[in-house]
Structure 1
Amino acid sequence: MCGRVTIQTPAVEIAREFGLAGIRSAIERPRFNLAPTQLMPVVANDGQRMLDAFRWGLIPSWAKDASIGNKLINARCETVAEKPSFRSALKRKRCLLLVDGFYEWKQSTKPKTPFFFHRKDRKPFAIAGLWEEWTAPDTGEVLRTCCIITTGPNGLMAPIHDRMPVILSKEGQEQWLRPEAMDAAQLQPLLVPCADDFLDSYEVARVVNSPTNDVPACIERLAA
């Protein structure tokens, strides 16, 4: 499971890094502990290549109320093509979630120990995701929401946790953002762990455990 991310990179730098056409909506300040139900920087496969901000927690178009999104923050790559909540979006509504770090908690310690994962050069990277557009039946409000796709661990993650986000290469990003409908068989080869040396990690303080703590101390390396 991936339940917290960081976005310290300014929107203009994210747009430049990924060659986007522009910025439709952006996260206005650095986020050191962004949690589900909050806005996530995304690029949807709508053919526009614009940076946008969707709410984290997928609400399928057929959902009766928005609360289902609180549970649908991750989709497992092994079952994403089968689950009713995800299978339609996998075919038609794919997106990149553009972040510069995420947290995972080591399961074998009590209490669990948080670790921060990031690129060695600290640049942003693209996580494979799904998006949906949902209209509230009572108010007509339209919400665009998203979720992260997870896969098994690579060598770096394995000692910490048994899941990690699917991080796409540049070639994978291009295929994932194709606007046409695609079959699961075409997409599954992309849903694999990134190379062991793509990310780095270190232990951080348990201040990150509470999503109300959205402060630089969340990413500070814990002294040995």
Structure 2
Amino acid sequence: MCGRYIITDTASDLAAMFEVEHEGSNLPEPSWNIKPTEQIPIVLESAKQEPAVRRLESARWSLIPSFATEMASSFPTFNARSESAAEKPTFKKSVASRRALVPATGYYEWHTVGAKKTPYFVHSDDGMPLAFAGLYSWWRNPALAEDDPARWVLSATILTADAQGPLAAIHDRIPVALPEETWDQWLDPHTVGDQAFVDAAVAASRSQAETLRFYEVAPIVGNGPELIEPVAGDSARSDTM
């Protein structure tokens, strides 16, 4: 799963990296400790204009389906299992045409043995940002007036898949990190997504997952670059625990 991650690039850096045509307002600053329900930058393509416009927007990290009656959910929605996302009412419409990329410098995962949880930082082997496969949704808050600018809430989730290779030694789930050659197809709002489409994206992500490295870090407290410093004696690795 992916319950904490970091993005150290600025909005302008991300806009250039993902060839964004429109930057939204109130985009979040870089963070080394992003938690569910906080605002995150996402890349999406809007079909309201032709041709579709690629946008960088700020979204709530925990998807609110359009049919929800309130923002809070009885179950976590910051991650969506790729194996069943197209079948779940919460995510089905988003799989069909509201797909996003979630930029990340890396993410944290905890290896659990008994009562002990050891945090690790997972990142690309070349230090370049990752692009997680995401889904987004627009939700209208029924408690707010029609003329309230805050009545529409953009939210997003990150798809996860079963872990393979060395990463499976830390946790049994990983975020789906898409290779660059799949970004356009994943974002295309005119391509109707279904479970087969998601499965193909996960298959394409396996080569990207093989490039990930990880190392142990200190307990994740606060927010700053010191959080991703390796503990004494550890360094980036991918083949041992």
TM-score, normalising length from structure 1? 0.91
Inter-CA distance 70–112: structure 2 relative to 1 (3 Å threshold): same
Report the AA paired with residue 201 of structure 1.
F
CA distance in structure 2 between the partners assigned to 1:217 and 1:94 by the alignment: 33
Please state how far the C-alpha of 1:107 moved relative to its aligned partner: 2.1
Pair 1:205 & 2:185 matched: no
CA distance in structure 2 between the partners assigned to 1:123 and 1:109 by the alignment: 34
Please state how far the C-alpha of 1:122 moved relative to its aligned partner: 1.8
| 1:92-126 deviations in Å (ceiling 9; x for gaps) | 21111011111111123532111001112222121
1:108 to 110, 113, 130: 113
Per the alignment, residue 214 of structure 1 pairs with 223
Pair 1:187 & 2:181 matched: no
Q: Secondary structure at the match of 2:168?
A: coil
Deviates more, 1:141-150 or 1:15-24: 15-24
CA distance in structure 2 between the partners assigned to 1:26 and 1:130 by the alignment: 20
TM-score, normalising length from structure 2? 0.85
CA distance in structure 1 between the partners assigned to 2:13 and 2:141 by the alignment: 34
Q: Secondary structure at the match of 2:80?
A: strand
Q: Secondary structure at the match of 1:112?
A: strand
CA distance in structure 2 between the partners assigned to 1:41 and 1:214 by the alignment: 17
Per the alignment, residue 10 of structure 1 pairs with 10
Report the AA paired with residue 159 of structure 1.
A
| 1:126-168 deviations in Å (ceiling 9; x for gaps) | 1001100001111141100000000011313111000000011
Q: Which has the larger radius of gyration?
A: 2
Pair 1:172 & 2:182 matched: yes
Report the AA paired with residue 212 of structure 2.
L
Q: Is the 8 A contact 1:64 1:137 kept in 2?
A: yes
User: How big is the alpha-carbon RMSD for the aligned residues of Structure 1 and Structure 2?
Assistant: 1.8
Per the alignment, residue 142 of structure 1 pairs with 152
Q: Which runs of 5+ in 1 are unaligned?
A: none
Q: Is the 8 A contact 2:28 2:39 kept in 1?
A: no
Q: Secondary structure at the match of 1:106?
A: strand
Q: Secondary structure at the match of 1:194?
A: helix
Runs of 4+, deviation exceeding 6 Å? none
Per the alignment, residue 173 of structure 2 pairs with 163
Deviates more, 1:67-76 or 1:7-16: 67-76
Q: Is the 8 A contact 1:59 1:69 kept in 2?
A: no
Aligned pairs, number: 220
Per the alignment, residue 72 of structure 1 pairs with 77
Identity over aligned residues, as a percent?
36
Pair 1:83 & 2:93 matched: no
Please state how far the C-alpha of 1:26 moved relative to its aligned partner: 5.7
